[in-house]
Amino acid sequence: MTDRFSVALDVSALCVKFPTGIAFYAKGFIDELLRRPDQIDLEFCFKGKLFREYDQFFQGLPTRPKRYVLKTFPTRTGRPITHSLDKRFLYNRGAINIATIHDVSYFVPGNYVTNWVANRFKGKMRRSNSKIARLADQVVCVSEHSKADYCRLYGFDEERVKVIYPGFQPLTRSVSADDDLSALAKYGQTLRSYFLFAGRVDRGKNVLSMIDAFKDSGLASDFDFIIAGPHEPDTPLIRERVAELGLDDSIQFPGYVPTSEMAALYRNARGFVYPTYYEG
């Protein structure tokens, strides 16, 4: 008979207005666990504001998540295993406490990304990473690179880290050519008529250099560039650069693109460009 695991799962990573990489990772992780009800008994927890503000993010979960306070030990969960999927750490005294670390990019010496991150946010991240290093029984990293960074910066025992690479998300299983053309038409595009960037539109993703390179390449006379993703405080600065270079007619900022349309944009782009300074 297979043992049934009882797990308190921190799903705070879902609490974002526009889900991108880590939120998709969390959603996929949860969906996989929910496919194994005979093996895993889940309790969902989150650290955030009042539940009603996050109701939209938790749709699809079979039970209502419980809110916890980060500075206290939520021993009332009574679960023998906890697993935190990003940043916040759900610690349960006496349990086996596991945390996923995606990267520690803000603290890697020489990394340009750190120049544009608020000190207050970096302070929160530093405290969280240190707490995980002090209290976690096991850490999951999404790459050998993130594992090396985390162990080096926080003195964590490599024997207590397991690398588990993220899977892939089947954005659409069955699509017709007409569906793709319809999605492209919404953005004024045809097959292979554009280059694509997808991600947060901020300086940390090296978007400014990407725009400069597009201008210098001369490709703007034949192709468009779609910069798709949620807008950040840096986005107005990036749009100013586009205007300065005279690329307003060639570069689009559609904002956050729905999943099905994003799949069509990926499939039919002339090329995908992702020049980010640093990723885990």
pLDDT number for residue 1: 42
What burial class does residue 119 get, using C-beta atoms within 10 Å of its C-beta: 0-12 exposed, 13-18 middle, 19+ buried? exposed
Question: Does residue 173 carry a pLDDT above 60?
Answer: no
What is the side-by-side strand order in the sheet with 251-255?
251-255, 224-228, 194-198, 271-272
Angle, CA 52 vertex, CA 20 and CA 77 arms, to 5°: 85
Residue 73 pLDDT level (bands cut at 50, 70, 90) = very low
> Does 5-163 match 177-272 in CATH topology?
yes
pTM recorded for the entire structure: 0.84
Structural domain boundaries in the chain: 5-163, 177-272
> Rounded to 10 degrees, what is the CA torsion of 125, 202, 168, 107?
-30
H/E run at residue 184: helix 177-186
Residues of the chain by 3-state class (helix, strand, coil), percent to 5: 40, 20, 40
Average pLDDT of span 229-251: 95
CATH fold, domain 5-163, is Rossmann fold (3.40.50)
Pick the CATH number of 177-272 from 3.40.640.10, 3.40.50.300, 3.40.50.720, 3.40.50.2000: 3.40.50.2000
Angle, CA 83 vertex, CA 80 and CA 85 arms, to 5°: 170
Q: Tell me which residue of 167, 170, 172 sits closest to 182, measured CA to CA.
A: 172
